[in-house]
Amino acid sequence: MSTSCGNPTVEKDALMPRRRKFDRTKTCIKCKDNQGNVTIRHAVYCKECFFPMLNQKFKRSLEPTINPIPDGPRKKNLYPPGNLLIAFSGGLGSTVLLDLVHKGYVASRKPREDADAAVRKKDPKNEMVWKEVHVCYVEVCGAFPAMRDRTEDVRRVVESYDGFKFVPLRVEDSFDTKWWESVGGKPDKGELRVDITNEDLILLPSSNATSPLSALHTYLSSLPAPTAIPTTLQTLTRLLLLHTARATSSSHFLFGTCLTSLSVSLVSLVAQGGGFNIKEEVQEDWGGEGGRQAVRIVRPLKDIVMKECAMYAWWRGLEVVGQEVWPDARQGIGGITKDFIVGLEKDYPSTVSTITRTCAKLAPKETPAGICTLCNRPAQGHVQDWKTRISIRSLSPSLASPQQPSLAPYLCYMCHTTLTSKSSKKPSSGSSSAGGEEGNEVPLPLWVGARVRRMEREEMRDKVKEFLLDKEEEEEGYAEPI
């Protein structure tokens, strides 16, 4: 008795042809002449063809984002509205990024004398794309006393290139009023604190001034779970860099995140409840409210895997300062995700590209309800109502009163969970070092207080806007000034 369908394992016509793997040969896939030196995703490249290939990937990711609106040929008409800021961590990706930017956009180019695109030369390839290029490094040894300060090592690497301006920062600058005023922030009368033991995160103004380092230790030691410390340090570092980009009049801000690191960031972001900002993790325009110039955050190494970065740094003889591992970082969600994906990539090279392509298809169902005051990213609405439905909570009434301002409505789901998640483990002793204060009042980064106070004024205006006189009507004489 025969069946209508044949056996695909027997019929040769039903078998799908296997994709050709170029690593079966030793000849370069590009020039077809030289013997290959490296295999990238089953493709063999020689040393001479490797550098043009990687440089092409880099420019293909960066140059379409330089103009505010793409217009004209991509390789000739590049008119950024501001300067450039490069985030440098001392790691492999940022080291490769620094060398690629210098080689392609700074070295052998004349300084741009006129910012007006209409009067530039006919051949702008000989001019620098950005007038100034700043390199910013944030030192985090203040959070962990056992770590070594690498600022001077990073300074030596940056100053080995001409045309770069080095901007050193420290993570405790997040609580330093001098730094906040230097980047254009308005000084507040008192330090804003929060009661972290209450899920409503009651805001408590305080006039007791503390040192920035002591405020950082108090903030980290008050986090409910050790896994929240690496996430918090990443948020503080990111905001320090963004405010520095605005202070340096930079229109573009580059991260040295390669494809492998990007896939790790995307998976760990979703695991920590930040899936609403999956799109912003790849590219975003930050700080464009109030008529200000937005800072475009770009990751031009997003199509280059870690193996390609390692080969580029080896063949170019680049000095990689390296990043010291934070205490408990490998036990956090980011560290576990990195070990898993890097181990999987060894046997399945398409893992990281599959992750990024899948995450690129994701989009939130609702529009953002506002901007999170802590991470400054779009925040979804009704975060507390959502957590009430999906989590087991205490039935005891909240200690908050209508007269007490709360920080919870101004936070995204990820930041609210980071500050209020419960854990049976105690925070690491490396983060709660000397300088921590007793009590439940925890100081907040300075940009949080500035944004919360501004939102309070805007909300008050919205409540009484029906009773306010329009400025145009007052000028036309419809209302007499009081």
Q: Please report the beta strands in 61-132, taking only residues with DSSP state E, as ranges in sequence order.
A: 83-87
What pLDDT shows up at residue 375?
92
Arithmetic mean of pLDDT, 295-323? 93
Q: Are 138 and 169 in contact (CB under 8 A)?
A: yes
Query: Does the pLDDT value for residue 314 go beyond 50?
Result: yes
pLDDT, the chain, mean:
80
Phi/psi zone of residue 419: left (φ > 0), alpha (ψ -120 to 50 degrees), beta? alpha
Helix, strand, coil percentages for the chain (3-state, nearest 5): 40, 10, 45
Give the C-alpha separation, 80 to 122, whole Å. 17
Give the C-alpha separation, 186 to 259, whole Å. 38
Residue 367: pLDDT band by 50, 70, 90 thresholds? confident
Query: Does the pLDDT value for residue 398 go beyond 80?
Result: no
Arithmetic mean of pLDDT, 362-373? 88
Pairing of strands 203-206, 43-45: unpaired
What pLDDT shows up at residue 476?
43
| Measured torsion, CA atoms of residues 261, 267, 270, 276, in degrees rounded to the nearest 10 | 60
End-to-end CA distance of the chain: 100
Arithmetic mean of pLDDT, 375-381? 90
What pLDDT shows up at residue 477?
41
Q: Are 57 and 45 in contact (CB under 8 A)?
A: no
Residues facing 39 on adjacent strands: 44
Structure tokens at 134: 């700043």
Give the C-alpha separation, 43 to 305, whole Å. 13
Could you give the domains of the chain? 19-65 (no CATH), 66-472 (3.40.50.620)
Q: Are 44 and 38 in contact (CB under 8 A)?
A: yes
Query: Does the pLDDT value for residue 461 go beyond 80?
Result: no
- pLDDT tens per residue across span 122-164: 455 677 889 899 999 999 998 888 888 999 999 999 999 999 9
- pLDDT tens per residue across span 220-278: 988 888 788 888 999 999 999 999 999 999 999 999 999 999 999 999 999 988 999 99
Structure tokens at 265: 């960031």
SS3 165: strand
What pLDDT shows up at residue 434?
34
What pLDDT shows up at residue 90?
92
SS3 190: coil
What pLDDT shows up at residue 334?
83
Residue-by-residue DSSP string for 392-429? ----SPP---TTS-BSGGGS-HHHHHHHH---SSPPPT
SS3 314: helix
Of the two residues 355 and 475, the one the predictor is more confident about is 355
- pLDDT tens per residue across span 169-219: 999 999 999 999 999 887 665 678 888 877 888 888 776 778 999 999 999
- pLDDT tens per residue across span 399-457: 545 567 888 888 999 998 888 877 544 444 444 333 334 457 889 999 988 777 665 55
SS3 181: helix
What pLDDT shows up at residue 341?
92
Beta carbons within 8 Å of 252's beta carbon, 6+ residues apart: 65, 66, 80, 82, 83, 84, 85, 130, 295, 296, 298
Going by C-alpha positions, the residue among 337, 323, 329, 325 that lies closest to residue 428 is: 329
∠ at Cα 329 (355, 178), nearest 5°? 105
What pLDDT shows up at residue 5?
55
